[in-house]
A and B are shown apart, each in its own frame.
Chain A
Amino acid sequence: MKTVSRIYMVLIFIFLYAPLLTMVLFSFNEANSLSVFTGFSLQWYRDLFGNEEVLEVLSNTLILAALSSVIATVIGTAAAVGIEKMRSRWLKSAVTTVSNMPMMNPDIVTGISMALLFVFAMKLFGMDSIFGFPTVLIAHVTFNLPYVILSVTPKIRQMDRYLPEAALDLGCTPLQSFFKVELPAIMPGVLSGLLMAFTLSLDDFVISYFNTEGDFQTLPIYIFGMTKRTVTPDIYSLSTLLFVSVLLLLILSNVMQGYAERKEQRKIAAQAGVRRKRKGAK
């Protein structure tokens, strides 16, 4: 039975990874073919970095991801803190439901609804065009927010409720207490929310597709355009780069989480040790 389940797992993993590995393999293909592998070559990567259009799209995507994740993290962390302190149950659940909507709705609905807002604004203010960096930035922040809040909220709940009060007793103003005591305590959640937002922003296709036009393209939109024309392996090199960067981000996020966890464990162990010593001394 165990071998059967082992074999099954292996098969599923092959199924999951075959296309990705083919893609990585063929990005190094010598010939201009996506199905016959002739030799190992870095030419497609070299072509990529020489292509000005690609570099512009790449920088667009990175700037968008960085900006939208930072904005979402700031607004989202503040929101998580605020929501936890809400007294009114009704308001709390209403805000939570609304902010979770981009997560629950299919991407296409989120994308279209925001595009409609922008189209209407365009009509209202008599503009020729509105789609571009600002609209896609707004869209990215909007779908990043729920994930940031989701990351930060557990950390807020885990934090010792009396720590900020202790800080106030020791003379901090409420603002100081937040930045000196609470923020460091919830920082792991904030950072993982930031990373997640960045990754989601890099990867997003559908929502960006409906909210930007012509000039400002992100990497996934550019790849989409490439798939509509004849395809050469440089699309694979581009995709591999995207894949590797997302992979690195995920590993980074996991390593940080592991590090934070171990720090917590060491702190708890140290406290337990101190208590035992004190008991022993008595």
Chain B
Amino acid sequence: MNKKRSFLRTAAAYPHMLWSLLFIVVPLLFVLYYALTVENPDGSFSFSFSNITALGSESYFPVFIRSICFAVVATLICLLLAYPLAYALSQCKVSSQRMLIMLVMLPMWMNLLIRTYSWMNILETNGVINNFFASIGLPRMQLLGNAGAVILGMVYNFLPYMVLPIYTVMSKIDRRYIEAAADLGCNGWQTMLRVILPLSASGVISGITMVFVPSVSTFYISQKMGNGRFEMIGDTIERQFMSNYDYHMGATLSLVLMVLIIVCLAVMNRFGDEDGGVLV
């Protein structure tokens, strides 16, 4: 009786398993398949490594390097901004912490397009900031279309993803550790370095992962904030897929992106002991 009931229960998961197999696993296999094949004139596919070797060429390799560099810089800036914020938040009154964290998370729920686009509007040559400059007699500055603008866009979009895990871990640090450190003679800075920093490390690693992954794969932010001057992996994939209809190249790029991310995650996991991260 028990076994039958148990079986019926697990059977409840079968629709989901079927769905996942069909729409999560199989598509990923297709990415692999399309990446390793090219289309013949008659429409059939033949196995070939030419897509992958094309990646080393001039048109693709710099794009990868650029994406990684931008993502690393954006992640670092996010970390530098988010860490003090998370600490400040964890020191507030418990009752206000909940509301403050919701305020931090709220922009995250805003559409990516809208968030990026509104920054564009502020930074444009005819935008809010430049209008202000003009009105007080300063020259208008070119605030968009450069690397800084792209990084700003990334940082703005992904900052909450960095704050949340760090804050969650910090708020769980037992206050008595901090008290003990003070009792043993540490001043504020030493406590930070020797107690809080190591204890919050898992949150930092989560946050880095949650910012690096979307940063390296974004396409809208780089297009809009950089005026199309900085093509990234995401932009290239989008172009191949939607404009060139070159599904094979698009798949190859996606495959490499996935591998890149898996490698980064694996490296991260070696540095962290806790499992995964904290999600919304």
Contacts and interface: CB of A to CB of B under 8 A. Distances in A.
Interface in A178-224: 199, 203, 205-206, 209-210, 220, 223-224
Contact of B19 (A1, A75, A223): A75
B180 interface: no
Tell me what chain A mostly uses at the interface: helix, strand, loop, or mixed.
helix
A220 B113 contact: yes
A103 B276 CA distance: 12
B55 interface: no
A271 interface: no
Nearest to B91: A5
B142 to A, nearest CB: 16
B266 interface: no
A141 B103 CA distance: 28
Contact of B13 (A13, A82, A117, A199): A82
Contacts of A158: none
Interface in B85-123: 85, 87-89, 91, 100, 102-104, 106-107, 109-115, 117-119, 121-122
Contacts of A48: none
B73 interface: no
Contacts of A114: 23, 27
A81 B102 CA distance: 29
A85 interface: yes
Contact of A117 (B26, B43, B110): B26
Interface residues of B, number: 81
Contacts of B103: 13, 16
B84 A5 contact: yes
Contact of A36 (B112, B131, B238): B131
A20 B257 CA distance: 31
A265 interface: no
A40 interface: no
Given A19-B122, A22-B128, A82 B19 contact: no
Contacts of B118: 19-20, 22-23, 239
Nearest to B6: A85
B15 interface: yes
Interface in B10-33: 10-17, 19-21, 23-28, 30-31
Which of A103, A150, A243, A246 has the most chain B CB within a 10 Å cutoff? Answer: A243
Contacts of A242: 111, 114
A12 B162 CA distance: 13
B109 A199 contact: yes
B62 interface: no
Given A119-B247, A246-B109, 8 more contacts: A22-B128, A79-B15, A81-B13, A83-B13, A99-B20, A109-B254, A224-B113, A243-B114
* Closest 7 pairs (CB-CB, A-B): A82-B13, A79-B16, A19-B118, A113-B27, A106-B217, A82-B12, A5-B88
Interface of A: 1, 5-6, 8-9, 12-13, 15-20, 22-23, 26, 34-36, 75-76, 78-79, 81-83, 85-87, 95, 98-99, 101-109, 112-117, 119-120, 123, 138-139, 141-142, 145, 149-150, 174, 199, 203, 205-206, 209-210, 220, 223-224, 227, 235, 239, 242-243, 246-247, 250, 254
